[in-house]
Amino acid sequence: MLLKEIKEIYHKELGTIYPKEEIDSFFYSCIEHYLQLQRFILAIQPGITLTKEEEQPLFEALSELKLEKPLQYILGTAHFMDLELQVNKNVLIPRPETEELVQWILLDAERNRNVISTSLNDRSLHILDIGTGSGCIAIALAKHLPNAKVFALDVSEGALDMAQKNAASNRVDITFLHEDILNTELEFNFDVIVSNPPYVRELEKKGVQKNVKDFEPGTALFVPDNDPLLFYRAIIDFAEMHLSKKGKLYFEINQYLGEETKALFHTRNFSEIELRKDMFGNNRMLKANAPSRGH
């Protein structure tokens, strides 16, 4: 069959679900991934024909796209900053908002590198990523701060397995820990603790897109309506004990609970608590400095 005919079939079959530009993007990503064909191939070779064998993965991907399965899970890969990561049903697909959180940490580390006698330069940084999922945050930090010692934990063994593979393929050394942050006896101290924990309330579920709800892991996303900040409280408790002096805590947060999440710090001795918006103008990130009585 002609490649351009397959493109037409993609548009015909997916046109009621996705916008035209997104269908083009799916199609070109699939031909790149399965056939190593550049996206401009149809412009220079409009008559290019595929064998039955070559067509097969494109039609299989189309069937899954019709079920609204995210393309990243179909292809098994996702991009995060300059990294290529493997993803499967055990891990959340990394989001651009989370890239902004990592950029914030990197910028702070860069600033601190220029300050003499601070504990926050990458020669001595000990970093912990709580709820690492695909490993995206931990791996990006390890890549950009090559002298830091990076730890990453998750309650999900399936997620840790994927994160370990991603660390290996991106050639970074990370210590992975199978831990439940709601019930941990981890004893190390850290200069940076970062987390993008589950934060979507059950009541927000109806606003969540089908491709997220049906395919991404519920344990990575949802929290009970009656205690939506449980992970933030647990992590703040943990950070109070385990952040080094001058250490910093960074969170990705629920955009609707920015002030409430910030307020969790009010009765604690954390300082310089800063709430930031993401590129879409939503409250999305929080940073706080270690309590003055930190270790």
Selected from 105, 167, 172, 181, the binder of ligand SAM by CB under 6 A is 181
Total residues contacting ligand SAM by CB under 6 A comes to 22
> At its nearest, how many Å lie between ligand SAM and the CB of residue 281?
20
CA distance 237 to 243: 10
Contacts of residue 272, Cβ cutoff 8 Å, sequence gap at least 6: 287, 288, 289
H and E: helices and strands count for the chain: 12, 11
CA distance 35 to 21: 21
Pairing of strands 149-154, 126-130: parallel
Q: Which is nearer to ligand SAM, 196 or 289 (CB)?
A: 196
Q: Which is nearer to ligand SAM, 153 or 229 (CB)?
A: 153
CA distance 290 to 248: 6
- Chain position carrying tokens 């992970």: 231
Q: Which is nearer to ligand SAM, 121 or 154 (CB)?
A: 154
Binding mask 204-223 for ligand SAM (x = CB under 6 A): ---------------xx---
235 binds ligand SAM (CB under 6 A): no
Site for ligand SAM in 104-163 (CB under 6 A): 131-134, 136-137, 153-156, 159
> At its nearest, how many Å lie between ligand SAM and the CB of residue 231?
7
CA distance 149 to 173: 8
Token pair in block for residue 258: 């920015």
> At its nearest, how many Å lie between ligand SAM and the CB of residue 280?
16
186 binds ligand SAM (CB under 6 A): no
> At its nearest, how many Å lie between ligand SAM and the CB of residue 207?
17
Please name every residue paired with 277 in a beta bridge, in sequence order, or none if there are none: 283
| Helix or strand (DSSP H, E) at 200 | strand 200-201
Q: Which is nearer to ligand SAM, 62 or 137 (CB)?
A: 137
Token pair in block for residue 239: 């950070």
Site for ligand SAM in 49-108 (CB under 6 A): 92, 94, 98
| CA dihedral (89, 95, 98, 102) positive or negative | positive
198 binds ligand SAM (CB under 6 A): yes
Residues engaged in binding ligand SAM (CB under 6 A): 92, 94, 98, 131-134, 136-137, 153-156, 159, 180-182, 196-198, 219-220
